[in-house]
Structure 1
């Protein structure tokens, strides 16, 4: 259904084997395109400390071609994909690249800071001028100012971490280092990988799988990891607090093949479907999944109840961000360009639709209309997560609180609005139980309003 869009994905590397750095970063970002589709960027540096970069609005395959990648020559680099619902995506594309007293530095950020405007305002009063609305630019200024007082860049980063309130993972590149940083509660993911003598950092393990890079470990909460010509080492930037990993990574954000905090994402989603079936069974002839992230939960739901799962929705693979959205009479007639229904799969059947989450509820209404128009006898909605009633401040581009369907309405009212015969959600306890292999606790603030940072 309609999603809270994660802000971005990160991929960085330090090459000690003669690999083509920009190409590997390109493929790493491409494998995580689901994390952001508004803009993409890559910055590399050579052995002389010269930085070159390309960043622009669009998908990874739209921003880069072979000619651009060939011009990005270097032994180290960081890349970023952006999901931005607001200002100009081209203007806010990352990495942010600056020159300061100690040379060049590039910064890329995944996440959100609750006090970023306070920090920005304070820096502006001290004379700083900003070209973008991105928190990464603010952080780059903080680091550059602190660097004059510390012998190493990682110590400078550690000194500014207590100022940053929120959930984040960050990559910083200098002429001789690529550095990964994770917030002290581990809200946003960051993992370390290795191939031979080269080292990698990524938002997800699925990028390592695509590139045959060996997963080494998750970056720990509050940890600063340095990869360079000598290998890798780390310092504790801030004292680690109890882990509060974003549970929405398991529900929707991450690739099904990724492993986050020791828990495989696909298995977590499958388990959520199993728990949902036990908590809210439906008397149905077939289970229908909603492309793409609803598949695993629907499989778990169907297997638990012994109901056949069928492919009923077909997603238009050419539907994308650049599609001209219908207006006026076309919108009024509800021209649905993203999904179509295979009528033979649902006609004269009692259908249960399983999806991962519900934010505004408008897409749920569309799904019910499509299935009824295709001849479904009844339509039951089952959502493999709890009701979302609070905004996220840690990097998800989502509606303001008043636009969340469950901010002021209950399940019965929403069920009536969607036109479904019944509507049920997985409990918070069910979501947690579905992730038995995860290391530590979860941030569930968008579900329960319990924010890890104040």
Structure 2
């Protein structure tokens, strides 16, 4: 739905390329494809024969790299990131890639995810003399690599040792003077794919970036895997044994673009199957089905096909409203839904409407959309959600850090329905979602993280990641 209005955001998207003369330009296009994963900052670092170069700033990709901004980024390899930030992570100093220079060599790092033991690691590093310049978890890895370099360890061994100390969800791309390194956490909680463009290697949070630049998708980066790409080619190593696979379910439900694939499963088709499964689980008498743009459209189409209720564009998204229209004041945020969405009166007037959405977070936006549809003449509005209710906070990089943000926590579907003013409210069952997405059945939870739906976390939760009133929930 409208992430900037609901407070449901993912932590970033990363991109990397090795061995192409247009590395910076291709990274620019790759970041454009990943723009939905973060709109508050963007950056690209390249490697040429003289070292590492970086250009980054706050804003959208085309704002940061306007004019001749890319001309100075020379070299045949690059990494980049688009960034979404929480309140604690705002500021130009946190925009990535972060570049670290030392007498033993330079390094640029970009990261997607969240380290649940970051505070503990920072405290230990500071006791050893480290001084941090940002509030980003990403900087922890650089300090750990440097600390691991004492003795006769190779750079690869230093990186492996440092990565093995991290807990949580992470997908890293590192650019050094020796090569490009790519790492995925042991549970594989964040999407990260490997591709090929001619003789060049590319890596991206989503495969839609490969399609834009004309690259071929090769495979997903494996949990606990460290890939090293340099002049010798591509080598696969491990910094940790693979744990239980736990890909974030919200990637399929909401975050990823419909044209992306995760582990060979297309996002649009997965969402469409979720809509079909939802129609099997609930029987509603209605005249029209509509989806909340954009991430709910696929599920709405599936619901319509399975239920036999016609699908129509009952809500239209205004794609030309700038971010500043919904940021400055609470009063402007209150008007955000009307700025972003408009009902099609002739579609919904006098009709019983099924409104399909991907999730409900705080419920305030859902309430406004239900009211908008009824004000446009809908006689009934039945809300169906193509995912289970969000009842638990996420500590792995999704901006749901407290259960008090979640309207479904401690409430029944009937109670939530009354709060948003709908005529009925139905959530897709967890079993139905897993079946519809279609990941391997032999994996625990089909290889998905269900923590925000069940409160069962795939890793240990460290005390410093949990607010006091939530510690009991996270046990």
* Alignment match, 2:472: none
Alpha-carbon contact 1:3-1:398 (below 8 Å) kept: yes
1:192 equivalent in structure 2: 194
**Residue correspondences, number:** 451
Task: Please say if 1:449 is aligned against 2:452.
Answer: no
Instruction: Decide whether the 8 Å contact of 2:175 with 2:181 is kept in 1.
Output: yes
Aligned-pair CA distance for 1:249: 0.6
Measure how far apart 1:168 and its partner are.
Answer: 0.8
Matches within 5 A, 1:131-150: 131-149=133-151
CA change 1:334–1:170 in 2 (3 A) is closer
Once the two structures are TM-superposed, the CA of residue 437 in structure 1 deviates from its matched residue by 4.4
Deviations 1:333-376 (A, max 9, x none): 88721111110010000000001111111111011010000000
Q: 1:343 aligns with which of 321, 342, 345?
A: 345
What is the aligned partner in structure 1 of residue 96 from structure 2?
94
For 2:34 and 2:79, the matched residues in 1 are separated by 14
Q: Distance in 1 between matches of 2:99 and 2:315?
A: 43
Relative to total residues, which structure has the larger helix share, 1 or 2?
Answer: 2
1:221-300 pair list within 5 angstroms? 221-300=223-302
Partners of 2:11 and 2:398 in 1: CA distance: 6
Asked whether the equivalents of residues 10 and 84 of structure 2 are also in contact (C-alpha less than 8 Å), the reply is: yes
What is the CA-CA distance between 1:65 and the residue it aligns to? 2.1
The CA RMSD measured in Å over matched residues stands at: 1.7
Give TM-score, length-normalised by structure 1. Answer: 0.96
Q: Distance in 1 between matches of 2:33 and 2:329?
A: 33
1:32 aligns to what? Answer: 34
Between the aligned partners of 2:215 and 2:438, the Cα distance in structure 1 is: 26
List aligned pairs for 1:83-232, cutoff 5 A.
83-87=84-88, 88-149=90-151, 151-232=153-234
* Post-superposition offset of 1:319: 2.3
Q: Match for residue 79 of structure 2?
A: 78
- Would the aligned equivalents of 1:13 and 1:25 in 2 still touch at CA under 8 Å? yes
| Distance change in 2, residues 1:330/1:235 (3 Å) | closer
Q: Is the 8 A contact 1:263 1:438 kept in 2?
A: no
TM-score normalised by L of structure 2:
0.92
Consecutive unaligned residues in structure 2, runs of 5 or more? 461-475
1:55 offset after TM fit, Å? 1.0
The equivalent of 2:468 in structure 1 is none
State the shift of 1:321 in Å: 2.5
Corresponding residue number in structure 2 for 1:9: 13
Question: SS in structure 2 opposite 1:309?
Answer: coil
Equivalent in the alignment of 2:354:
352
Q: What is the Cα deviation at residue 443 of structure 1?
A: 0.6
Aligned to 1:322: 324
